[in-house]
Amino acid sequence: MAQTSPEETPGSSLTVGLEVESFAALRSRTFSFTPADSLAELLAMRVRTLPLYGPDGNGAAIEVVDNSGQPPSGGLQLDYGSWNFTEDPVVQATHPEWFIQFYETQPIEIISPTYWFTTYFWEQDIQKMFSSGTYQYNAIWANDIRLFHEFNGSTRFHVHIGNGTGVGSQFPFETVRNLAMILLVYEPELDRLLLRNKYSNSRVVPPRIISPKECPHFRPPNVPHEAPRSALATHLLNTCPNINSVINAMNPPIASTLGPNARDYFKYNFTSLLDSLNAPPVPDGQSPQDGDATPTPPSYRPKRKAPTIQFRHQNDTMDGDVFVHSIRFLSSLVYFAGEIDLESLREFLGLNTNMGGNGLSSFQQNSTSNNNNNNTNNRNSTYSMLSGATSASGHLYGIYPLGSLDRLLSALEFSGVPIDHETSRFWRRRAQSFPNS
């Protein structure tokens, strides 16, 4: 199979990365662990036998990164040409008392290299890394000692999507704005597919994901409580003229029980787009500056080498199929946001182009009379308008209701976006398994 060069395919500048967390435990009464025998190290020893492609097709190393002594905000120095195994102290067991005796436990985060989206390397490596047998670690077969993984309210997986690997690989403003508007409208559908389990066990920290609808920019007095999703997108369009303003609307600094780093816990995290990418790290052992007798340690390096948009979702799985189809779907969504023009986006999202002021005056006027009837009439009117759209793609996705998964997937499929047909079928089948509540 011929390898596709990132420069040969439209939209090929997209890069992808994956982070997966779980709470791991291994029954260990029959042997002793040493400090070097962490569960992360045991897993790393196992997966080092896998024939991985890596980002450039020449293989990928498996690294175990010690994050002890790291600041609370992170700061891990990771090699993004490698798969990294590290500990995530935030992850907790649902029932920690089950593991008091006879178990070695560790909350583990698995962090992928940065891959080009248009290569097949990332998909093949994810399938190998998360195959059904890889994490069934059995250290002593005779005693049936197996590694146990728990997925709960403190665990999640992240998908990172970037626009290249260089320091100047920023997304254009229009892409960021369009994507934010799409996410505001389609968040309920994405939640239904990707946010499967609603963990309620009070003994586990709640899912660390904050909806943009909870942000002040989309709450009264800016937006009425009962405003439709299209009104949220209209408000962002009319009030956010640059990337900074979009990020401050979607990911504002907020006071939260999650602590000082709560800004990092948004479901759709745009904040790394503003990260300052400093000069390369100072090599270990470099001559000290200003007469300091201590060698200068490596400088802090951002967690991702280049700016990315981070999708933080909850899912109780190590299923490679879920990860692959999530990355395909979300990458296609980002690509779509960068290709669609504003007029078509308004049509796709059902925005009222005649709204004045902050884009909510029509809704606010309707709210003073009969909300339910008027909102229904507005939706029907918009639906009729879209059904008669002049563009071919408008005809195809316009037959589906606003905000529906079918409408979103049809728009991706018929707009030249590189989404795999099997991925569309995967999510449609999943939607049938998890109907609207």
Distance (Å, whole) CA 270 – CA 263: 10
d(CA 437, CA 420): 28
For residue 369, pLDDT over 60 is answered with no
Q: Is the pLDDT of residue 100 over 50?
A: yes
Its pTM stands at 0.80
Distance CA 24, CA 38 (A): 11
Torsion of CA 317, 321, 324, 329, to 10 degrees: -90
Kindly state the average pLDDT of the residues 53-69: 88
Segment 329-344, tens digit of pLDDT: 999 999 999 999 999 9
Q: Is the pLDDT of residue 226 over 80?
A: yes
pLDDT of amino acid 350: 92
Q: What is the per-residue pLDDT for 355? A: 42
pLDDT (tens digit per residue) in 19-60: 998 888 887 655 555 555 688 888 888 888 889 999 999 999
The answer to whether residue 307 scores a pLDDT higher than 60 is: yes
> Looking at residue 283, what is its pLDDT?
44
| Residue from 310, 42, 341, 363 nearest 156 by CA | 310
| Cα(26)–Cα(144) distance, integer angstroms | 11
The model's pLDDT over 241-267, given as tens digits with 9 standing for 90+, comes to: 999 999 999 999 865 545 555 555 789
DSSP conformation letters of 320-334 = HHHHHHHHHHHHHHH
Distance of CA 248 to the CA centre of its chain: 18
Spatial separation of the C-alpha atoms in residues 315 and 112, rounded to whole Å: 17
For 73, 75, 152, 288, the CA distances from 69, given in Å and listed in that order, are 11, 10, 26, 22
What percentage of the chain's residues is helix, strand, coil (to nearest 5)? Answer: 35, 15, 50
pLDDT > 90: what percent of the chain? 37
DSSP 256-271: -TT-TTGGGGBSEE-G
